[in-house]
């Protein structure tokens, strides 16, 4: 019999995501309360760092999918030759 991991149970996954979302919300609201020492004026906008991180993540996914994948992708019959 295979040993079950913590994330094999759907209820544990739901608990994990619930805790994760609560932590994210706490950090987002904490950003409004904590004074920032910004180097640039746009860093003082509310939720700038969260928005910048999300946009950078989407940009990296786009680059990986549409630019890097065609470069490193093999042809379908590569291993058949």
- Domain span at residue 12 reads 6-80
pLDDT in tens, 7-63: 899 999 999 999 999 999 999 888 888 888 889 999 888 889 889 999 999 999 999
pTM, two decimals, is 0.63
Tell me whether residue 23 is in a domain.
Answer: yes
**Count of structural domains, the chain:** 1
User: Given this model, what pLDDT does residue 44 score?
Assistant: 87
Tell me whether residue 49 is in a domain.
Answer: yes
Q: Are 7 and 13 in contact (CB under 8 A)?
A: yes
Q: Are 49 and 28 in contact (CB under 8 A)?
A: no
Tell me whether residue 1 is in a domain.
Answer: no
- N-to-C CA span, the chain: 41
């Amino acid at each position: 019999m295979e040993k079950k991991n913590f994330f094999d149970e759907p209820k544990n996954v739901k608990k994990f995501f619930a805790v994760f979302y609560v932590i994210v919300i706490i950090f987002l609201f904490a950003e409004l309360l904590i004074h920032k020492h910004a180097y640039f004026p746009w860093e003082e906008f509310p939720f700038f760092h969260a928005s910048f991180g999300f946009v950078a993540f989407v940009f990296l996914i786009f680059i990986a999918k549409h630019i890097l994948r065609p470069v490193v992708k093999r042809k379908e019959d590569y291993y058949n030759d």
